[in-house]
Amino acid sequence: MGRIGIAALSALLLGANLSPAQAAEHYTGPIIDTHAHLRTNDGNGLSASHPIGTAELRALDQAAGVQQSALIVIARQGDMAATRALNDAAIAAAKADPQHFYVIASVHPADGDAALAELDRLAKLGVKVIKLHPNTQRFDVADPAVAKVTAKCGELGMAVLFDSFNPLDANELGKLLMLSLRQPKTNFIFAHMGFTQFRDVLTLSTLRKLGMGGNVWLDISAIGTAYAGSPVQPELVWTLRQHGVDHVLMGSDWPVDTPATAIAAVRALGLTADEERLVLHDNAAKLLGLN
Ligand SMILES: [Zn+2]
């Protein structure tokens, strides 16, 4: 086939199949990053290279089109004064830029009634999301103390951002699924969507046919950047659609990824522009009562 033949054939294929305009169609409006970590002055953060404060993240958000961002802290066990101080530091950081940042505070389930009292205090201060991280905080998701914390969050109208991947506990995602089914009044956000175990999330889409599991949101931080462009990408997208793209949230997991990297991964998944709008903005706005 000569050159003209190839050109004519490719024009035909492009016209009939995927036009450049269609391929480039993306949601371009404001974005909410539902998973970004704060490193406070006392050093509570993800790593030694995690910048202290919000200035660096704010600049990255500006460049990436992120209009609002979470500021996550993670509580340690056994020192409620430190937990309160950590949460207050996060609240103060968000209050310094309230149009842009919102707080994801934390308690440690093993702190029992004191942790529940801290949830009361945080709810009164307007906190809407609580972070729990079984691996970092070293607790078992099946511990009854965890169920007390998540039930209390539901009573107070606070969602729980729950890390859902633990290389040390192969049953963790199953425990989390059961907890979310037992507590339909609590909104659970599965951070990283189970990561390499994401296939198990499909259990939820089956249960959603029976009216269950609508209280589970999937935060695709880390997993989006891990699998975008990979051989697994079609299955990841298929699983998101089975669960419901109206229950999927974008997160950067800053400083693990930058907001720009995480957003580029979402845009590389091959979602429609309407699906991107849900994932990058509308679902978070609805769940968290943000603009
Ligand atoms: Zn994280």
What's the CA-to-centroid distance between 162 and ligand 1, angstroms? 9
Q: What is the mean pLDDT of the segment spanning 259-274? A: 97
What's the CA-to-centroid distance between 182 and ligand 1, angstroms? 25
What's the CA-to-centroid distance between 175 and ligand 1, angstroms? 19
What's the CA-to-centroid distance between 21 and ligand 1, angstroms? 35
What's the CA-to-centroid distance between 129 and ligand 1, angstroms? 14
Shortest CA distance to 26 belongs to which of 219, 290, 280, 225? 280
What's the CA-to-centroid distance between 241 and ligand 1, angstroms? 23
Q: How far apart, in whole angstroms, are the C-alpha atoms of residue 154 and residue 184?
A: 9
Strand partners, 160: 130, 188
What's the CA-to-centroid distance between 164 and ligand 1, angstroms? 10
Q: Flag whether pLDDT at 204 surpasses 80.
A: yes
Contact 257, 222 (CB under 8 A): yes
What's the CA-to-centroid distance between 6 and ligand 1, angstroms? 49
Q: How far apart, in whole angstroms, are the C-alpha atoms of residue 282 and residue 30?
A: 9
Read off the pLDDT band of 219 (50, 70, 90): very high
The total number of residues written for the chain in this structure: 291
CB-proximal residues (5 Å) to ion ligand 1: 253
Contact 208, 243 (CB under 8 A): yes
Shortest CA distance to 187 belongs to which of 218, 217, 209, 223? 217
Say which residue the tokens 């679902």 belong to.
Answer: 283
Neighbours of 228 (CB within 10 A): 21
Contact 153, 118 (CB under 8 A): no
The three-state secondary structure class of 100 is coil
In the chain, what are the domain boundaries? 27-288
What's the CA-to-centroid distance between 184 and ligand 1, angstroms? 24
Q: What is the mean pLDDT of the segment spanning 199-210? A: 88
What's the CA-to-centroid distance between 35 and ligand 1, angstroms? 6
What's the CA-to-centroid distance between 52 and ligand 1, angstroms? 16
What's the CA-to-centroid distance between 253 and ligand 1, angstroms? 5
| Domain 27-288, CATH homologous superfamily name and number | Metal-dependent hydrolases (3.20.20.140)
Q: Flag whether pLDDT at 89 surpasses 90.
A: yes
Burial class (CB in 10 A: 0-12, 13-18, 19+), 15: exposed
Q: Give 121-163 pLDDT, tens digit per residue.
A: 999 999 999 999 999 999 999 999 999 999 999 999 999 999 9
Q: Which residues 6+ apart lie within 8 Å of 86 measured at CB?
A: 40, 42, 44, 73, 75, 106
What's the CA-to-centroid distance between 92 and ligand 1, angstroms? 20
Shortest CA distance to 192 belongs to which of 153, 163, 234? 163
Q: pTM for this one?
A: 0.90
Distance of alpha carbon 190 from its chain centroid, rounded?
7
Contacts 24+ apart (CB under 8 A), 39-44: 39/255, 40/73, 40/86, 40/89, 40/90, 40/93, 41/89, 42/85, 42/86, 42/89, 44/73, 44/74, 44/86, 44/89
Q: Flag whether pLDDT at 12 surpasses 80.
A: no
Please give the mean pLDDT across all residues of the chain: 91
Read off the pLDDT band of 20 (50, 70, 90): very low
Determine what percent of the chain is predicted with pLDDT higher than 90.
81
What's the CA-to-centroid distance between 34 and ligand 1, angstroms? 10
| pLDDT at residue number 11 | 41
Q: Flag whether pLDDT at 169 surpasses 60.
A: yes
What's the CA-to-centroid distance between 137 and ligand 1, angstroms? 12
What's the CA-to-centroid distance between 18 and ligand 1, angstroms? 36
Read off the pLDDT band of 206 (50, 70, 90): confident
What's the CA-to-centroid distance between 29 and ligand 1, angstroms? 24
